[in-house]
């Protein structure tokens, strides 16, 4: 049966038309996770072209012993056509209630219904207000693996709660942390480290201390500027050091901050300090690096870093204050958990 001609049908709790019900099940639930079953159950399943599944109660699926009222939700392999069945033909996203259909049974999501000007994108028939309740019911009975299963996520969720998990899944890929341009590359940390080095040509350093100098010949012309990102490798992790100029209200400022290439929970295991000064004056910032899960702009706009007013920056630069020459030093250290108090104490010697 073609995907674009799936017709949502109503059904009763009775067993009036077992053959038709089996055919619908066969078309809508292709290739669930395989489990061993009795030969009788396998033969019955083969007769209606349905693979045997097992529910949580241990009952065998369609055609097998134990199928009935006690059957639990079906667990469907992510490599099957179930995604196509629940995929909107317009935006290709998964459909969630209300799922709409035309008179010919073609389905689409509620968001796209308003975008197609009340015309079915498949057959061009006029759309009414018909809900595809059967497909909504099928989706409610499914449990699917997280879409990041290939990246290591072992979780399985009911269809309607899967989307929320995926938006927060620890295995979801990271966005490129490069701030000099809007880079759309995503991937895991090793991939992004290689991408930053090879494609963005960022400076790569090993060690937990740094000493950087930021120079600009005419700083008064700089309203929005981002210096080259620097990546540090220490404690087996990667950190990104950012430095840039922007307007904070009406005041031009410079800001330096550190981001951790990993999740927020792991970022809390580390601390860092930044220091800038000259002429007998000094400014120091200490904090926890932000995860690259938070965008560069989000961190900047939260002012979570060392912020230097332009006049102070030019004072630190010395000379006639016509050239920016800021030297920013800092270090990264790992916090150790105190087993007696549960508090974190700094580990300065690793």
What's the chain's Rg over C-alpha atoms?
29
**Is 310 among the domain residues?**
yes
Residue 232 shares a structural domain with residue 311: yes
**Is 72 among the domain residues?**
no
| CB of 225 closer than 8 Å to CB of 256 | no
Interaxial angle between packed helices 133-140 and 159-168, expressed in degrees from 0 to 180 and rounded to the nearest 10 = 60
Residue 98 shares a structural domain with residue 218: no
What pTM was computed for the model? 0.64
Query: Does 113 score more than 90 pLDDT?
Result: no
Q: Residue 91 maps to which CATH number?
A: 3.30.40.10
| CB of 253 closer than 8 Å to CB of 262 | no
Burial environment of residue 238 by CB neighbours within 10 A (0 to 12, 13 to 18, 19 or more): buried
Return the structure tokens found at 9. 């049908």
**Is 215 among the domain residues?**
yes
**Is 96 among the domain residues?**
yes
b/e 116-137 (16+ beta carbons within 10 angstroms → b): eeeebbbeeeebeeeebbbbbe
Q: How far apart are CA 227 and CA 196, in angstroms?
A: 14
Q: Coil, strand or helix: which one is 328?
A: strand
pLDDT of 162-195, one tens digit each?
A: 888 988 898 899 999 998 667 899 999 999 999 9
- β-pairing verdict for 237-248 and 230-234: antiparallel
**Is 267 among the domain residues?**
yes
**Is 194 among the domain residues?**
yes
| CB of 51 closer than 8 Å to CB of 31 | yes
**Is 225 among the domain residues?**
yes
Residue 225 shares a structural domain with residue 108: no
pLDDT of 62-97, one tens digit each?
A: 344 444 444 455 444 544 566 677 888 898 888 888
Residue 194 shares a structural domain with residue 121: no
Q: Going by C-beta distance under 8 Å and a sequence separation of 6 or more, which residues neighbour residue 160?
A: 96, 97, 139, 140
**Is 157 among the domain residues?**
no
- β-pairing verdict for 324-337 and 344-347: antiparallel
Residue 205 shares a structural domain with residue 326: yes
Residue 85 shares a structural domain with residue 220: no
Burial environment of residue 98 by CB neighbours within 10 A (0 to 12, 13 to 18, 19 or more): middle
The residue range of the domain holding 123 is 81-141
Residue 213 shares a structural domain with residue 284: yes
Residue 134 shares a structural domain with residue 209: no
Residue 129 shares a structural domain with residue 257: no
Q: How many residues does the chain have?
A: 350
pLDDT of 291-346, one tens digit each?
A: 999 988 899 999 999 999 988 888 888 767 778 888 999 999 998 755 454 444 44
Residue 209 shares a structural domain with residue 317: yes
Count of structural domains within the chain: 2
Residue 196 shares a structural domain with residue 330: yes
Residue 205 shares a structural domain with residue 329: yes
């Amino acid at each position: 049966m073609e995907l674009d001609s799936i017709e949502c049908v109503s059904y009763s709790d009775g067993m009036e038309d077992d053959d038709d019900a089996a055919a619908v099940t066969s078309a809508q639930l292709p290739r669930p996770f395989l489990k061993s079953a009795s030969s009788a159950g396998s033969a019955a399943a083969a007769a209606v072209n349905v693979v045997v599944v097992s529910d949580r109660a241990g009952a065998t699926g369609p055609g097998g012993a134990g199928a009935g009222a006690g059957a639990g939700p079906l667990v469907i392999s992510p490599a099957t056509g179930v995604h196509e069945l629940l995929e909107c033909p317009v935006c290709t996203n998964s459909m969630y209630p209300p799922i709409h259909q035309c008179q010919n049974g073609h389905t689409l999501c509620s968001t796209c219904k308003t975008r197609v000007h009340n015309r079915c994108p498949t057959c061009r028939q006029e759309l009414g207000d018909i809900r595809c309740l059967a497909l909504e019911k099928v989706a409610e009975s499914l449990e699917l693996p997280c879409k990041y299963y290939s990246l290591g996520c072992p979780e399985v969720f009911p269809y309607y709660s899967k989307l929320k998990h995926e938006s927060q899944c620890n295995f979801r890929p990271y966005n490129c942390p490069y701030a000099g341009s809007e880079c759309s590359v995503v991937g895991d940390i090793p991939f992004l480290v290689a991408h930053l080095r090879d494609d963005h040509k960022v400076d790569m350093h090993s060690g937990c201390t740094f000493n950087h100098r930021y120079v600009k010949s005419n700083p008064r012309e700089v309203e929005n500027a981002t210096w080259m990102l620097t990546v540090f490798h220490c404690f087996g992790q990667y950190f990104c050091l950012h430095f840039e100029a922007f307007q904070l209200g009406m005041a031009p400022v410079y800001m330096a901050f550190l981001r951790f290439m990993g999740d927020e929970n792991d970022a809390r295991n580390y601390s860092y300090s930044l220091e800038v000064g000259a002429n007998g004056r000094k400014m120091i910032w200490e904090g926890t690096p932000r995860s690259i899960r938070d965008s560069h702009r989000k961190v900047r706009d939260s002012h979570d870093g060392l912020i230097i007013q332009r006049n102070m920056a030019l004072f630190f630069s010395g000379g006639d204050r016509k050239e920016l020459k800021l030297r920013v030093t800092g270090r990264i250290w790992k916090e150790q958990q105190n087993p007696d108090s549960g508090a974190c104490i700094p580990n300065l010697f690793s």
